[in-house]
Amino acid sequence: MSETIERIKCLIIGSGPAGYTAAIYASRADLKPIMYTGMEPGGQLTTTTEVDNFPGYPEGIDGPAMMMDLQKQAERFGTEVRMGMVTEVEFSKEAGGIHKACIDNSKWVEAETVIISTGATAKYLGLPSEQKLRGGGVSACAVCDGFFYKNQDVAIVGGGDTAAEEATYLANICKKVTMLVRKDEMRASKAMQHRVNNTKNLEVRYNTEVDEVIGDQVVDGLRMVNNKTGEKEEIAITGLFIAIGHKPNTDIFKGHLDMDETGYLITQGKSTKTNIPGVFASGDVQDKEYRQAITAAGTGCMAAMDAERYLAEIETSEEEQKEVTA
Ligand code: NDP
C-alpha cells in the first residue's frame, strides 16, 4: 500500500540543466523545491565528456562536473535533491488543485506546483561497436562535440532535419563529412536537403547503413553496408555522429498532459505552462529543436518563475474569496 508522505509547494522532476536551473530559481523564491533526480542523475550531460559551449566556463568543463556544480548551487539555496523515479502522476485539473506524484512505485508526494524536466534520450543504432565507442568518438550531438573534430574526417547517420542540419554544421568545421541515409531519399525538408546537396565537403550515401564502427579505445573508421547490394566499404574517420532522433521521456504523462505526435510536451506560447494549471515543462522534454544545455537552463528558469507567479495568483484569488465571504 502506498501512503501520502508530505505536501510540498514545488516538485521538480528530473535533474538536467533545466531541472537544476528551475531548482535554483524556485529555492531562491522560497518555494522550497524537492527534486527527484530520475534514473540518470545529472541527465544527458553526464554522458558527455567536455562541455565547451556553456557560457561561464572559459576553459570548458566536464559534463558530470558541471552537473555537480549545478546541484551544489541548487542545494545552497535549500533545494532538496532526492534519488528516485516518479513512476505515476495524478494531476488536478483545477486551478489551485493539488497534484500527486508516486515515487518509485511506493510513496506519494503532493505538490502545489510541478516542474517537469525529464529530458529526452538520444536514439542510438544499438550496435555493440557503437556502444563501446560512445564518448570515444561516437556522439549524438554535433553542436556539442563537432569542434573536437576540427579538420578531421567524420560521418553522420540519419536523413531527417537534425541529421541534415548537423551534417552542414559539421561540414563547416571538419575536412569531410560522409552522411549515411538508409533509404534512397532523405526525410529532411526540401530546404535542408538543398543545403546538404550544396555543401562541397559533404557526401551523401543513400541506401547505406553502419555495419561496424572500427576502433579500440577511439574511433578509427567505419564499415558501411549498402542495404540494396550488400556491398561493404570501409572509410577512415575519427568521429561518428548519430542523428536518428530523440525520444522525449514522457511515458508517465501520457493521458495526463497534451503532447505532440512524437511525445514532446506542449507548452503554451512563450511560457512553460502545460494544459494543466500548476504543471510546467522545461528543457528537452518540450523542445525538439534546440536541445542545448543553455536553452534547457533558460526554460528551467522560466518554469520556476511561472510556478512562482501561479502560486502568487492562487494566493491572491484565495484572499479575495475570503474577503467576499467575510
Ligand atoms: P526524424 O525522426 O525526423 O528523422 C530520423 C532520421 O533517422 C530518419 O531519416 C530515419 O530514417 C533515420 N533513422 C532512424 N532510425 C535509424 C536507424 N536505425 N538507422 C539509420 N537511420 C535511422 O528525427 P529528427 O531528429 O531529424 O527530427 C525530429 C523532429 O524535429 C522532426 O519533426 C524535425 O522536422 C524537427 N527538427 C526541426 C529542425 C528545424 O526546423 N530546424 C531541426 C531539427 C529537427 P527513415 O527516414 O528511413 O525513417
Task: Tell me the CA–centroid distance for residue 190 and ligand 1, in Å.
Answer: 14
Q: Is the pLDDT of residue 205 over 70?
A: yes
Q: What is the pLDDT of residues 154-187, one digit of tens each?
A: 999 999 999 999 999 999 999 999 999 999 999 9
Q: What is the mean pLDDT of residues 94-111?
A: 96
Tell whether the model's pLDDT for residue 144 goes beyond 90: no
Question: Which tens digit of pLDDT belongs to each residue from 266-282?
Answer: 999 999 999 999 999 99
Mean pLDDT, to the nearest integer, of 292-297? 95
H/E stretch holding 297 reads helix 293-325
- 104: annotated active-site residue: no
Provide mean pLDDT across the span 234-258. Answer: 97
- Which letter does DSSP use for residue 206 in this model? T
* pLDDT score recorded for residue 274: 98
User: From CA 13, how far away is CA 38, in angstroms rounded?
Assistant: 7
pLDDT of residue 321: 84
Cα 86 from Cα 100, distance rounded (Å): 10
pLDDT (mean) for 21-34: 98
- For residue 114, is pLDDT > 80? yes
Residue 10 annotated among the catalytic residues of the structure: no
Distances (CA, A) of 78 to 50, 73, 74, 168, 197: 28, 9, 7, 44, 52
pLDDT (0 to 100) of residue 45: 79
Q: How far is the CA of 1 from the centre of ligand 1 (A)?
A: 43
**153 pLDDT more than 60:** yes
Distance CA 214, CA 287 (A): 33
Q: What is the pLDDT of residue 4?
A: 53
**Is 48 a residue whose pLDDT tops 70?**
no
pLDDT band at 236 (very low <50, low <70, confident <90, very high): very high
Rounded Cα distance, 245 and 254, in Å? 20
- Report the chain's mean pLDDT, rounded to a whole number: 94
State yes or no: is 141 an active-site residue.
yes
pTM for the complete prediction? 0.83
Cell numbers at 239, concatenated: 568521429
Average pLDDT over residues 226-251: 97
Catalytic residue, chosen from 69, 104, 145, 174, is 145
Give the pLDDT mean for 55-76.
Answer: 94
pLDDT band at 42; cut points 50, 70, 90: confident
CB 113 within 8 A of CB 31: yes
What pLDDT sits at residue 85?
96
Average the pLDDT over 317-323 and give the result: 85
Mean pLDDT of 146-150: 95
Beta strands in the chain (DSSP E): 3-13, 34-36, 50-51, 61-62, 80-82, 86-90, 99-103, 107-116, 120-122, 138-139, 153-157, 176-180, 202-205, 208-214, 221-226, 232-236, 239-242, 246-248, 279-281
SS3 182: coil
pLDDT over 90 (residue 285): yes
Residue 287 has pLDDT above 50, yes or no: yes
**Stated length of the chain:** 326
Which of 1-10, 17-26, 48-57, 221-230 shows the lowest mean pLDDT across its residues? 1-10
Best mutation site among 123, 124, 125, 161 for ligand 1 pocket (most ligand atoms within 8 Å of CB): 161
Taking residues 211-239, report their average pLDDT.
Answer: 98
* pLDDT score, position 116: 98
If you measure from the C-alpha of residue 243 to the centroid of ligand 1, how many angstroms do you get, rounded to a whole number?
Answer: 7
Q: Is the pLDDT of residue 299 over 70?
A: yes
CB 114 within 8 A of CB 101: yes
- Residues having CB closer than 6 A to ligand 1 are 125, 157-163, 165, 182-183, 187, 209, 244-245, 288-289
Cβ neighbours for 172, distance < 8 A, ≥ 6 positions apart: none
Average pLDDT over residues 8-33: 98
Q: In the prediction, which pLDDT does 49 show?
A: 66
In b/e form, how buried is each residue of 19-49, taking b as 16+ CB within 10 angstroms? bbbbbbbbbebebebbbbbbebbbbbbbbbe
**CA of 59 relative to ligand 1 center, distance in Å:** 33
